[in-house]
Structure 1
Amino acid sequence: MIQTVIFDMDGVIVDTEPVHRYAYFKQFEELNIAVTEEMYTSFTGFSTRNTFQTLKEAFQLNHNVEDLIQRKRNIFNDAFDSKEDLELLEGVGKLIKDLHENGMQLILASSASKVTIERVFKRFGLHQYFTHVVSGEDFPKSKPHPAIFEHAASLSVAPKENCIVIEDSTNGVRASKAAGILCVGYNSIHSKDQDLSEADIIINHFNELDFEEVKKMDSKLRNN
């Protein structure tokens, strides 16, 4: 029986991607580097640090990675605070409350920084539902490396065989599977050009899930 659900954040709980995109491309313009859509899409699931480490090498930037990270966060934070129409993705709030009210443990494992996670959680009152919050900034390698999900599973009240991850990105799904954890691929309209084919099950809307469905998901998927 599934006892712990590990959520990604961006593209699963809230769509902050337009704000991230604005911040990144504003900074790319400042740095005078031409980042293609293909390259930008490949960063989905990366931490900000890993993104700038990759860009620094690709474009031979002389800037300090920490300075690049801080500049991007400053642009993002200003844009986030002024974005009044930011909402939880449709159906996810109801799912989170349903799982929590029925005793399911919820853990967040996001590539986002702690500052960004805190901004989102505070804005939408999510702290009360999650026992732990894990940020990608604490790990040297981003998804698809499994470290973040392995750590999240170690915080679970149950063995990882009784955990499940909800992810919307290619790198996130691969990280979940590399960690040996069952994965729900969320086919989000906000996450472009992502390959979810390695997920154990793919959903198009959160109304496809509820506590009863999630609880029995391990036996259902492992028997298929």
Structure 2
Amino acid sequence: MRRLSAVVFDVDGTLVDSERDGHRVAFNAAFAEAGLPDRWDVETYGRLLAITGGAHRLAHWFENTGRTPAESWDLAQRLHRRKTALMRDMVSEGRIRPRPGALELIERLRAGGLRLHVATTGTRAWVAPLLAHTFGAVFDTIVTGTEVPQLKPHPAVYHEVLERTGLLPEQAVAVEDSANGVRAAVSAGLRCVAAQNSYTRTHDLSAAHLVADGLDDPELITWFDQYLRKTSRSAPRPG
């Protein structure tokens, strides 16, 4: 096994609490602005998270509420643009918060000499300002759904991170929260740690090397510490 060199983070539901009180709120605001009766409560949105990508989620919803496929996709694209702008406003207002333990874990990994990257299906228009506002300039590579059209569970976003960084899959660990995310990371050949949340506790995360209750779970911290010790021991000594 090669020494661990990098950690690749998902964003939504992994680094930040963005789904229930972020995206869902922005989607509902976009519905209201457009004069549509559609609203997603907490439970409904949880079910819709099985569909990766906001525009695809909207199109699925519209098709299943009586609209034609063509009409659904056109409406989904228009609403998704507005929803992204609303989400960006929420980010600038500081309304999207890091998950408990996220800042501490990032600091711990950086102190251990690991490079940090991001592989997300979120839109760069809100992902980039969110990461900068919440975490600062800690991520060396950020690949989003804007650059990679194939969404998770397709492994394309992870392949893109590996290509940009020159990493081999065995040199990196992915941190995800959902079944689709775990499948994407594992399909790309990465080890994966799942930090589940209230929406993903019922997901099949069995392909992950570890399933933790969050980023502040002591088991997750211990898991990374063992790899940080291996990395430290295998690093070349000065002189």
Fold agreement, TM-score > 0.5 = yes
Quote how far apart the aligned CAs of 1:130 are.
1.1
Q: How far 1:14 sits from its partner (Å)? A: 1.2
The separation in 2 between residues aligned to 1:216 and 1:54, in whole angstroms, is 46
Cα 1:26/1:217, change in 2 over 3 Å: farther
Give, in whole Å, the separation in 2 of the partners of 1:44 and 1:131.
29
Distance 1:216 1:101 in 2: 12
Rounded Cα–Cα distance in structure 2 between residues aligned with 1:177 and 1:44: 18
Corresponding position of 1:199: 208
Question: 1:78 maps to what in 2?
Answer: 89
Paired letter, 2:37? N
**Native 8 Å contact 2:46 2:199 kept in 1:** no
- Checking the alignment, whether the CA contact within 8 Å between 1:4 and 1:156 is kept in structure 2 is no
Distance 2:47 2:229 in 1: 34
Picking from 155, 170, 180, the partner of 1:171 is 180
Give the counterpart of 2:129 among 113, 119, 131: 119
Counterpart of 1:136, as a letter, is: G
Residue 41 of structure 1, aligned match among 44, 47, 54: 47
Alignment TM-score, normalising by the size of structure 1: 0.81
Which amino acid is 1:113 matched to?
A: T
Identity level (%): 25
The whole-number CA distance in structure 2 between the counterparts of 1:138 and 1:50 is 16
- Note closer, same or farther for the CA distance 1:65–1:34 as it changes in structure 2 (3 Å cut): closer
| Equivalent residue, structure 2, for 1:221 | none
Q: Does 1:110 align with 2:120?
A: yes
- Selected match of 2:26 from 20, 23, 28: 23
In 1, distance between residues paired with 2:103 and 2:180?
24
Q: What's 2:58 paired with? A: 52
Distance 1:149 1:217, change over 3 A: farther
Stretch of structure 1 that moved more, 175-184 or 192-201? 192-201
* Bigger RCO (CA 8 Å, 6+ sep): 1
Residue-pair matches, total = 216
User: What secondary structure is seen at the aligned counterpart in 2 of 1:166?
Assistant: strand
Larger Rg: 2
Normalising by structure 2, report the TM-score. 0.77
1:147 CA drift (Å): 0.7
Residue in structure 2 matching 1:150, options 149, 156, 159? 159
Q: Tell me what 1:209 maps to.
A: 221
- For residues 174-209 of structure 1, give each alpha carbon's deviation from its aligned partner in whole angstroms, at most 9, with x where no partner exists: 111222211101122464643322212112243432
Which amino acid is 1:134 matched to? V
* Superposed CA offset, 1:45-87 (max 9, x none): 7222332343454442623443222121133233444455x43
Q: Relative to structure 1, is the Cα distance of residues 201 and 52 closer, same or farther in structure 2, using a 3 angstrom cutoff?
A: same
Task: Say which SS state the counterpart of residue 152 (structure 2) adopts.
Answer: coil
Structure 1 partner of 2:237: none
Q: Using a 3 Å threshold, how does the CA distance of structure 1 residues 69 and 205 change in structure 2: closer, same or farther?
A: closer
Work out the CA distance in 2 between the residues paired with 1:154 and 1:103: 21
Could you say which residue in structure 2 is the equivalent of 1:222? none
Unaligned runs of 5+ in 1: 219-224
* Structure 1 residue 135 corresponds to structure 2 residue 144: yes
Cα displacement (A) at 1:40: 4.9
